[in-house]
Structure 1
């Protein structure tokens, strides 16, 4: 371990399992990603000082608790310090923040973050109910779910800014097209506007293809002080900015439901820490649990003026050949959304993009941003990763 310094925190290895319907339980999925990440860095589990597990609901989904301790055993990481990071669907982003803090503070010389969730063995209704438990008890008592919030917000946005319904379909079309080239994505099939617009209504005006799937999977990152990065990798990325924020627990208390205050605040803090502005970002992974969320985050992170974000996908600006590619991984929409893994997987995509390792998904990028949203903007972590040059 080292004393606290001003040196940067480096990401020297990353991994992601296949997302989708998996046979293994969460402990198996976590071990798969963790082992792959350690192998990517060429080290064994005993190199790890701190081990963090991003997970929302292993107890609720499969009755499994104590998973960080079990993972330390499975990876041969004993006696590493372990902790579970639960921040609902932004657990992955919160895990990045915790892992960054552990290295930046000098408490750890080598921190492994693994995010994962096992969900597909539950019915859609059961999984939706587990996720809805993050809402305020008064809202939950009245049957409010995140899809219902999404529908209400989408309706308000489309009406307020005179945006065409097709603009949300364009987000789904783009992200499915990107997912075709991601071998780990849950859905690797392109869709067209007509398919999206004619799919079954879930929460009017949103339809089936406006929503991400229920998913199993895991992803991992290995973080070290930059002074040690060369011991693990020839090329690496640095976390130049990371920040978290919260918004009202009760969504209807917000002054403007189409503005995600925690995205605005976490983004502003991450930009300040990185000494960057939105124009410096070359690629972004946004939390498109619902298509409307990509539009809202695009605006709230400063990539478009308020009420203009819907034009980005429609005009091709956020396509891989656009001026700001968004969700090159396929996003949650195509790649899948295993709750605790999603924020980590976003960072895995940005890491690969800034290092030029994204294969057919590769875009021209040195600076990337990942925004991981919990609930309906209740809590958010924004991370900026840059190639070390």
Structure 2
């Protein structure tokens, strides 16, 4: 199969935007992706589009892909929607890569969009809850935070980890997000702030939980046959892995690992011909602080139980050996469900082209993105490579 390349990517700011619709948000993300293509691209050169969205609030659940792309002026091309909870647009990028690698498209648009802040708190809990198991979790009163709190409790009980380590994730990601003009919560916080916040679902407190956000992100994927028409600095999709898992937490054998993340990472490494030690930076799915600790381990950055030591040693800090969530992650950058995975790709694309400003990672070659649906019912991992001297 052909190689696939990211030639452009962009996103809106993430946050509360009551004056924006999902169509207008996605249009802005698309325009920013087009602007990032060095030689430019015309709409009629795009062969296919795949849009990720949960459809929070019930908006345009049917035909939301065509509804979004029609607003861009992309008429007549195949356009579809992927719903895989919080991993929706990570999977949309995977789908676009598949279309390009198979030869069905030379250029494909992937992305995602969500509007989440125009509902009551109770309705937001409902829409977050649909990403979990319905009969035995959501309908019996378990919240999304409650599911991850069970995972956090099991982890803290099993390993040499404390609530302070959860708070260290928040401090790190807020420090990074303060350097990101697109971040929803773009401010720094102290360890004391992150330790003393009100509980949401013990042991998780407010600073251990990401916000609900509005936003959109878009990614343009091109084949090796046409990539040179658009850029001399493409970002190659070196490897992609995806996996699913039992949706309900109660159905799993272990609470201290997400098997879908582990399998998706293993597949991506195998297809890229790389290992975890080759990765220069990562954007991981930190919907809750415990999720970042699990990601370190599931993606092979350390052994099981070793995540707290990475934090203690500053390995995952912006100036560490393996910066994680330079964007601020979901915790600070925000989490518009359908846009999150594509937003991670947009950040990795910017980092690999050396255009991330104050939060730029030093001279990266390989970046990894990790996008999880629900509490691990789905996961997708992309490994991106900066090609030198193409």
Band the TM-score falls in, shorter-chain normalisation: over 0.9
CA deviation vs aligned residue, 1:75-106 (integer Å, no higher than 9, x gap): 22111110101101100111111010010010
Matches of residues 152-231 of structure 1 in structure 2 within 5 Å? 152-231=150-229
CA deviation vs aligned residue, 1:92-146 (integer Å, no higher than 9, x gap): 1111110100100100011011211000001222111111022222222211121
Aligned counterparts of 2:356 and 2:58: Cα–Cα separation in 1 = 32
Cα 1:39–1:354 change in 2 (3 A) is closer
Scaled by the length of structure 1, the TM-score of the pair is 0.96
Task: Confirm whether residue 13 of structure 1 aligns to residue 11 of structure 2.
Answer: no
Equivalent residue number for residue 383 of structure 1: 382
CA deviation vs aligned residue, 1:236-260 (integer Å, no higher than 9, x gap): 1011101110111221221111111
Unaligned runs of 5+ in 2: none
Tell me if structure 1 keeps the 8 A contact 2:237–2:384: yes
Matches of residues 304-323 of structure 1 in structure 2 within 5 Å? 304-323=302-321
Q: Which moved more, 1:231-240 or 1:321-330?
A: 231-240
Tell me if structure 1 keeps the 8 A contact 2:106–2:225: no
Aligned counterparts of 1:189 and 1:16: Cα–Cα separation in 2 = 19
What secondary structure is seen at the aligned counterpart in 2 of 1:245? strand
What secondary structure is seen at the aligned counterpart in 2 of 1:227? coil
Match of 1:90 among 69, 77, 87: 87
Tell me if structure 2 keeps the 8 A contact 1:49–1:108: yes
Shift of 1:63: 5.0
Equivalent residue number for residue 3 of structure 1: none
Matches of residues 323-334 of structure 1 in structure 2 within 5 Å? 323-334=321-332
Tell me if structure 2 keeps the 8 A contact 1:72–1:80: no
CA deviation vs aligned residue, 1:337-367 (integer Å, no higher than 9, x gap): 0001000011111111112111111112110
CA deviation vs aligned residue, 1:143-173 (integer Å, no higher than 9, x gap): 1121001111111111110312101100000
CA RMSD of aligned residues (A): 1.2
Matches of residues 1-389 of structure 1 in structure 2 within 5 Å? 6-22=1-17, 23-41=19-37, 42-58=40-56, 60-62=57-59, 65-136=62-133, 137-364=135-362, 365-389=364-388
Shift of 1:71: 2.5
Tell me if structure 1 keeps the 8 A contact 2:160–2:308: no
Tell me if structure 1 keeps the 8 A contact 2:49–2:78: yes
Shift of 1:222: 0.4
Shift of 1:64: 5.8
Aligned counterparts of 2:27 and 2:312: Cα–Cα separation in 1 = 40
Tell me if structure 2 keeps the 8 A contact 1:299–1:308: yes
Shift of 1:319: 0.3
Tell me if structure 1 keeps the 8 A contact 2:93–2:111: no
Shift of 1:61: 4.3
Aligned counterparts of 2:62 and 2:248: Cα–Cα separation in 1 = 28
Tell me if structure 1 keeps the 8 A contact 2:2–2:103: no
Shift of 1:65: 4.0
After TM superposition, what 4+ stretches of structure 1 lie above 6 angstroms from structure 2? none
Tell me if structure 2 keeps the 8 A contact 1:27–1:67: no
Q: Which moved more, 1:309-318 or 1:34-43?
A: 34-43
Cα 1:313–1:61 change in 2 (3 A) is farther
Scaled by the length of structure 2, the TM-score of the pair is 0.96
